[in-house]
A and B are shown apart, each in its own frame.
Chain A
Amino acid sequence: MHEEILKVNNVSFRYAEQDVIKNVSLTLHRGELLGLVGPNGSGKSTLLKLILGLLPLRRGEVYWFGVPLSRFREWPRIGYVSQKASSFNTGFPATVEEVVLMGLTAKLGLFRRPGRRERRAVEDVLELVGMEEFKKRTIGALSGGQQQRVFIARALVTDPEVLILDEPTVGVDMRSEERFYELLEKLHRERALSMILVSHDLGVVSQKMDTIACINHELFYHGTAEHFRDVQDEVVLKTYGREMQVITHSHAYGSHRRPAFEACWDDQRAYVRGESDAPEKEAFKQTEQGRSSMQATRAEKEEPTLVGGDQH
């Protein structure tokens, strides 16, 4: 059995008398690719913030590399690309090189300035993500997909053992999404990184990840992706709270891959809970994004209709 990198034991989080996270337990082993999926507002980002210590952990336990969260200090071993990375201040006058160097701030410690070795590390990691030729460009001048690569480079520059990505493909085009997943495979192959990928795209995650955790405030599934595909209907019903038919179609990125399956629905309206910024942002919103992100169709339909998703 591979070493346990992350252990989450019965973690709960309440906000405004509501259970945002309820008794969730997870493990991540060395080299494992874990997909954390669930509808919008299901508490995925909140769970991430709890295990990363960005929200106070009041109930349950989290261990990083066997060390309780409260005593864990080796944060450079963990690379994190937050959902907010896609909504940063694009007017910030920083070059790509400066942004990636920021990833080394804590590792260097107070009073130490980046030297030749650190600049070499920045160049290496920019080469790894295919952005070396953009290092003198300002971050705001890049496309969404390129910015995403820079943020991944920033997370990788400390040579972490785990990479955590919170909704990394939000706001990037299909071609960039394809290149993004190619990059993840490369990182996993070349650096043996363990990863947690938070997404609401069930189809992609179930194809790309080793293990899946389905969450909608509580955990409905945690196991291998292979087993997930056998029990997906039952899991999706429990997680999303409605009967759905999972359909398969080839995803835009890579026709050489097995066809990805997406859950699709044909509701005119989808209600999702906005959780991107903070758990207290509880107001239910009617959004187009919810409709397209769920990409689920009702089981009773004989010929499922994709709503909002890309049909390839």
Chain B
Amino acid sequence: MIYMLTHYAFVRYALIAGLITGVVAPLIGSFVVVRRLSVIADALAHVTLSGVAFGILMGTISRTMGLVDPVYYGTLFALVAALFIEKLRNVYRFYSELAIPIILSTGVGLGVVLIGLAHGFNVDLMGILFGNILSVTKADLVRIAVAGAVVIATVFLFYKELVSLSFDEEGARLSGVPAGTINFIFSALIALVISVSMQIVGILLVSALITLPVASALRVAHSFRSLIAYAIIFAEISVILGMTASFYFDLATGGTIVLVAVGILLIVLLAGRVRQLVRA
């Protein structure tokens, strides 16, 4: 593995991209989970699929449009969908969870139609759905690094507003926190994180990387800051172990990363149970 890292640029790109994802996915995931919006990442990831498909279709129609990486279309679609989810949650105030399946099914439906329309385009659909970390190019890495830096900087700048809104939205609004603006920024961050994570674990597994490390961290955290710290540690362990295991055992990288995250969750749950038994 060390030899591969020192001799092959694509392995280095893959590892760095994975490590960046291991920070930003659980960072934004901590807010997503405590706001009870875990499924939102799944819905937006599916919309990203339709955005990517749209981008590829545009590439087949127009050479100019084809110059734009389809991932940017995916991010744009996810951002618009995030705004629609906010709107729908207000429309269905007492069934706000309805907003997510509406957007999710729209995303899948549109994605399938667009892929069908662009039949014949040469695309690695499996890579989009399940990730292909080894396909990360230098340009991809730059995009992922810039998006990751934007996510980290934004969370740092708006940390106290994001925490306040996550804990008690009504109280935060009343005290003068610009809830509308912060919620919009939050939605944009989720869209960005999905675009960052997509190439690493794929559209179908993005929400796993956003929520699984946080689910583990919730069992051991004693403050919100420690929740974020533990979630990032668990995510990074998942990325490093997952990549190493996939390299040695020739497994699908995205799936292996997610399975390691599931393994960590099981260990944490088991440790909690053992601790309870010892105390009893």
B-binding residues in A (CB < 8 A): 52-54, 73, 75-76, 78, 80, 82, 84-85, 88-89, 91-95, 98-99, 101-108, 110-111, 113-114, 136, 138, 154, 158, 278, 280
Q: Is B164 an interface residue (CB 8 A)?
A: yes
Q: Is B157 an interface residue (CB 8 A)?
A: yes
Q: How far is the CA of A84 from the CA of B222 in the complex (A)?
A: 23
**Contact between A94 and B223 (Cβ–Cβ < 8 Å)?**
yes
Inter-chain pairs besides A53-B174, A80-B174, A92-B167, 18 sampled, C-beta below 8 Å: A54-B170, A75-B176, A76-B175, A76-B176, A89-B34, A89-B167, A93-B226, A94-B223, A94-B224, A102-B163, A102-B167, A102-B172, A105-B163, A105-B175, A106-B172, A113-B160, A114-B160, A154-B171
Q: Is B118 an interface residue (CB 8 A)?
A: no
Q: Is B168 an interface residue (CB 8 A)?
A: yes
Q: Is B88 an interface residue (CB 8 A)?
A: no
Q: Which residues of B contact A106 (CB under 8 A)?
A: 172, 175-177
Smallest CB–CB gap between A215 and chain B, Å?
Answer: 21
Smallest CB–CB gap between B167 and chain A, Å?
Answer: 6
What secondary structure prevails in chain B residues at the interface with A? helix
Smallest CB–CB gap between A86 and chain B, Å?
Answer: 12
Q: Which residues of A contact B93 (CB under 8 A)?
A: 278, 280
Q: How far is the CA of A95 from the CA of B163 in the complex (A)?
A: 12
**Contact between B167 and A88 (Cβ–Cβ < 8 Å)?**
yes
Some 6 contacts from A to B, beta carbons below 8 A apart, are A80-B171, A84-B168, A92-B167, A98-B225, A104-B160, A105-B163
**Contact between A105 and B172 (Cβ–Cβ < 8 Å)?**
yes
Q: Which residues of B contact A113 (CB under 8 A)?
A: 159-160
Q: Is B119 an interface residue (CB 8 A)?
A: no
Q: Which residues of A contact B86 (CB under 8 A)?
A: none
**How many interface residues does B have (CB within 8 Å)?**
30
Q: How far is the CA of A135 from the CA of B165 in the complex (A)?
A: 21
**Contact between A89 and B175 (Cβ–Cβ < 8 Å)?**
no
**Contact between B168 and A73 (Cβ–Cβ < 8 Å)?**
no
**Contact between B160 and A108 (Cβ–Cβ < 8 Å)?**
yes
Q: Which residues of A contact B176 (CB under 8 A)?
A: 73, 75-76, 106-107
Q: Which residues of B contact A110 (CB under 8 A)?
A: 157-158, 161, 178
Q: Which residues of A contact B163 (CB under 8 A)?
A: 94, 98, 102, 105
Contact for B223 among A80, A88, A95, A278, CB less than 8 A: A95
Closest to B36 in A: A89
**Contact between A92 and B175 (Cβ–Cβ < 8 Å)?**
no
Smallest CB–CB gap between A229 and chain B, Å?
Answer: 33
Q: Which residues of A contact B170 (CB under 8 A)?
A: 54, 82, 84
